[in-house]
Amino acid sequence: MPTRILYVDDEADLREVAVMSLELDPDFEVRECGSGEAALAVAREWQPGLILLDMMMPGMDGPATRRALANQPETAAIPVVFITARTQAQDVEGLMALGARAVIAKPFDPMALAGQVRGLLSV
């Protein structure tokens, strides 16, 4: 059974690249959405094995989305990996303190994304 991956980013072009990259791995089933609010609904209904979450989005940003996921019993255990251009040590530490499994820097390498995700799933 494939691992379900939810990719959340307000930038449609990045979502498209990420989904195409992840779908190259036959062991991944990928869905995407463009907001934190949508991510909450999809995560509750679909129960992904991992959420790749953009940090900076309008409305509900990545950290707020992570907190909301953690506060819902049906989504609290889903691992979250942040994808962000803000990779200063203090930013990464703050995201890890929110319970992130890891942080992937933007721009990411589309050819390496599936391998990075596979490595994070085995942690």
Mapped onto helix, strand or coil, the DSSP state of residue 59 is coil
Q: What pLDDT was estimated at residue 119?
A: 93
Q: What residue type is assigned to position 53 of the chain?
A: L
Q: Give dist(CA 97, CA 47) in Å, integer.
A: 23
Q: Is the pLDDT of residue 97 over 70?
A: yes
Domain that holds residue 89: 3-121
Looking up tokens 């094995």 gives 49
Tokens 């509750």 belong to residue: 44
Contact between 45 and 33 (Cβ < 8 Å): no
Q: What confidence tens digit (pLDDT) does each residue in 69-91 have? A: 999 999 999 999 999 999 899 99
Instruction: Supply the pTM of this predicted model.
Output: 0.96
* Three-state DSSP state, 76: coil
Say if residue 123's pLDDT is above 70.
no
Q: What's the number of domains the chain is made of?
A: 1
Q: Domain containing 79 — which CATH number?
A: 3.40.50.2300
